Structure 1
Amino acid sequence: MLRLVLALILFALPVGAETIRLGDRSYRIDLPARAAGAPVILALHGGGGSADQFARSSGLSRPANAQGYAVIYPEGTGRAGTWNGGYCCGSAQRNRVDDMAFLDAVIADAVARFRLNPARVYLTGMSNGSIMAETYAALRPGKVRAVAGVAGTMDARRLRPKGKVPLLHIHGTADEMVPYAGGRGATSLTRTDFASVAAVEAAFLAPYPMLARTERVIDRAADGMRVIERNYANGRGVTQVRILTVEGGGHAWPGSRRAPRQGGTRDITANAEVLRFFAEHP
């Protein structure tokens, strides 16, 4: 029985999973079968989470590794595990932790250590991790090929992207932690006055001179929700900004193990949508 349990645990772990110490912090990396030259996804956990927790709950590594990506899960700081995204969250924000520099260091270390592709770096994150991912992309547009945020909005009132960065943003309209329309949520754990999804959308659209807007409805599941996909494409038909609005959706990473309890939809999975968007920006 013990052998069976150990076998199942080992089977569930990506073949190339490692934890790397970087000064007084660390990151987890799940490598594909061929690491040399692989594109990189940084996946940032939410407030109160951790690198291993987000790897387990999101399940991102398996499909991403299969498509040739190396997936890095950096570790936040403090007992609650948070990121300093400027206006949120927790001890990381209060102590003014320089998470921009930390993510710079993680990327540089992983690229050099595993011979990854520095020209294909992508970011994604959940909640506080989404805020940090969007903030990093806005301030480091030359380092990021594309960014995908889920259920967390950067401080769009004070921050503007310094260049063009393709954005995917997934958010539920019934999110009570980080409200879709902005402001402080009923279950928010901070006093942050969050930016709206519309404000983040406008901020990432601003560097582009002209994009064509289209919309479509995704509604395959009988869960009382539907997803509105809004795309802004350039003249070559490549979507530069995509907003996936989950009508009636809560504070969830769609498709994750915890999503059904958090108001997640079955119409989409975040992993599939994130990888689809990143594939559009090679």
Structure 2
Amino acid sequence: MTAMLFTQMREATRLTREGKLTEATALLRGALRGEAPAAPTPPRAAPPAATAQPRVFDVDPETGATSGSAQASAPDAVAASRWPGASAMMPRMTEALRRLTGLARGARPGAPPAAEPLADGAQFLDRSFSNEAGSRAYKLYIPSSYRDAAMPLVVMLHGCTQSPDDFAAGTRMNALAEEQGCLVVYPGQPKSANPQKCWNWFSPGDQQRDQGEPALIAGITRLVMKEHAVDPRRVYVAGLSAGGAAAAIMAQAYPDLYAAAGVHSGLACGAARDVSSALAAMRQGAATTPAPGDESGRVVPTIVFHADQDRTVHPINGDQVIAQFAGVAGLSTEAQRGQVPDGHAYSRTIHADAEGRSVLEQWVVHGGGHAWSGGSAAGSYTDPRGPDASREMLRFFLEHPLDD
């Protein structure tokens, strides 16, 4: 089992580097079930001993342990002869694969969401978009107060295994949009693009402006702006986990389109370039904080939520999102602490410019896991014990229109 899993891991990495993400993710998914590859993998020479042990599995973020069981089966012993410490790493490798595909233990997906009741006059529409990069379905919430006056638009990117309906139910963003007078659009990632419906944030082809998934998400955003009365100075993007990482990419790639961003339990743009570096970043953060990819000089105002007991995406990734988006020196910081009644304690840090305007805001939820903070149990991967990430993100967004 271990020898086969290592072989499949190497093959998945090769496929990712060649841009064959669907095949790579399917291979990893099969590895979790103990399936052999559908076609034999060409034999490869054993890697040199000095570089044989993948660094991604050196430290277990849950325990800090660097060793496991000393016993190995016969297949384990074969793998251990090629990769020192392979048998000890087996449980952590399996867990890392689960993390990548959105199946981490401790995550608590809810039941499929029931359709939320709509306010009189509100609409939740099924739509689709296509361009040179492909096509995506999406759902659009139009509040009952929508007329001809331009409204803010929030783009919401779901996490692995989720759907637009699920994400809308869990975040309750539609209810807030009804209250505040906003349009909300939920692009959907299909299984054909990723078997676990993850946004492919770790693929170089999906990290660049006008390429791959960023081109599709931006295209959906612009189509909604064209077909509805949207204030172009108040267009925002937010997401959870893989969707949070995708939101960070969108803010870096399109600072002229998105006035501000929200990253919940996500990773910095460029934190990974393939499957191996994705697993490493999810376990222990990117090796170095990625440099800002935008050359315009604009710091996109960003609000970050991350729980300090997140076992799927290490909380250091929230720090790296803040560090990447800071982009400039001289921001002052103000730290606050709070407690949700009968819920989680939290820390909130505000980073302000020389004029005292907030640019970055970081929330650390103490005792929380990999879930949307303050969300509804009607959706998956939510933690109703707060604080309310949806309300705080929308508040932050509306404070930051795009500069003229």
**So what's the TM-score if we normalise by structure 2?**
0.58
CA deviation after TM superposition for structure 1 residue 262, in Å: 5.9
* Residue 326 (structure 2) aligns with: 205
* Residue 116 (structure 1) aligns with: 230
* Residue 340 (structure 2) aligns with: 220
Structure 1 Cα separation of the partners of residues 147 and 157 of structure 2: 21
Structure 1, residues 147-171: CA drift from partner, whole Å, max 9, x if none? 0111111234445241310010000
* Residue 22 (structure 1) aligns with: 129
**Following superposition of structure 1 onto structure 2, how do residues 1-282 of structure 1 map, counting pairs within 5 Å?**
11-12=117-118, 15-23=122-130, 24-32=135-143, 33-36=145-148, 37-78=150-191, 79-87=195-203, 98-154=212-268, 155-156=270-271, 157-158=289-290, 160-162=292-294, 163-181=298-316, 196-206=317-327, 208-223=328-343, 225-258=344-377, 264=383, 266-282=385-401
After superposition, the Cα gap between the structure-2 partners of 1:42 and 1:263, relative to the gap in structure 1 and judged at 3 Å, is: closer
After superposition, the Cα gap between the structure-2 partners of 1:35 and 1:18, relative to the gap in structure 1 and judged at 3 Å, is: farther
Structure 1 Cα separation of the partners of residues 382 and 128 of structure 2: 35
Structure 1, residues 24-45: CA drift from partner, whole Å, max 9, x if none? 3211110122254111100000
Letter in 2 for 1:52: D
RMSD of aligned C-alpha atoms? 2.6
CA deviation after TM superposition for structure 1 residue 77, in Å: 2.8
Letter in 2 for 1:69: C
Tell which structure's C-alpha radius of gyration is larger. Answer: 2
8 Å CA contact 2:351–2:358 kept in 1: the answer is yes
Letter in 2 for 1:176: R
**So what's the TM-score if we normalise by structure 1?**
0.81
Structure 1 Cα separation of the partners of residues 216 and 375 of structure 2: 27
User: Unaligned 5+ residue runs, structure 1?
Assistant: 1-7, 182-195
Structure 1, residues 1-27: CA drift from partner, whole Å, max 9, x if none? xxxxxxx96734681211112133211
Letter in 1 for 2:352: A
Structure 1 Cα separation of the partners of residues 357 and 312 of structure 2: 32
CA deviation after TM superposition for structure 1 residue 80, in Å: 2.3
8 Å CA contact 1:150–1:170 kept in 2: the answer is yes
Structure 1, residues 163-197: CA drift from partner, whole Å, max 9, x if none? 3100100000100111113xxxxxxxxxxxxxx22
Report the identity percentage. 25
Structure 1 Cα separation of the partners of residues 311 and 116 of structure 2: 37
After superposition, the Cα gap between the structure-2 partners of 1:240 and 1:228, relative to the gap in structure 1 and judged at 3 Å, is: same
